[in-house]
Amino acid sequence: MAYVKLSEQVQKLSNPQRSDTFIKLFQEAVRSGKIDGAYLPERFTMPKQFTRRGSEDTYQKDTREMIFDHTPEFDEWFEETNRELAAARRGGTVKPSVEAIESGLVDFKDLVAQTRQKMQASYEKGQALGNSRKSASTSTSKKSKPKK
């Protein structure tokens, strides 16, 4: 049996900026029993460069070292995972803008439907709030009138 450290395997990733995601997936595979692995008492620095919001400086994170049994099943799992992580990451949803609508990234008809739905919900909420305040004020005004 050949045992390999997680830090050595992380160096083989085709996209080191996804090393944090790889480590999470690896730990999940160990937890679920797909891979036989164990924690070691040492730590290693991930190759990913993290950036702080609002500044240009970068930093790196440390994580716990693990050792695992290097098997043909692991090689298959690693190749598949490495391929998925190397693929371009899909960003979140496209923000509506004139350019996005004109280029076809955002469907104008869907945007119109969403806007109408939001406006209708806001209108109904306002009506419900106004009606609840109106009925509350009439019931309290009847109670507060002094009897002669």
Sheet holding 62-70, edge to edge: 2-5, 62-70, 37-45
Task: Please give the Cα distance from 145 to 147 (Å, whole number).
Answer: 6
What pLDDT is attached to residue 78?
92
Structure tokens at 68: 């695992």
CB 63 within 8 A of CB 46: yes
Decide: 69 and 35 in contact? Cβ < 8 Å.
yes
- Give the span between the Cα atoms of 96 and 92, in whole angstroms: 12
pLDDT band at 141 (very low <50, low <70, confident <90, very high): low
Q: What is the pTM of this model?
A: 0.57
Structure tokens at 35: 């891979």
99-115 residue pLDDT tens = 778 777 778 888 899 99
Q: Report residue 14's pLDDT band, with 50, 70 and 90 as the boundaries.
A: confident
Q: How far is CA 31 from CA 14, 34, 37, 85, 139, in A?
A: 24, 8, 9, 20, 61
Going from N- to C-terminal start, the domains of the chain cover 2-86, 97-129
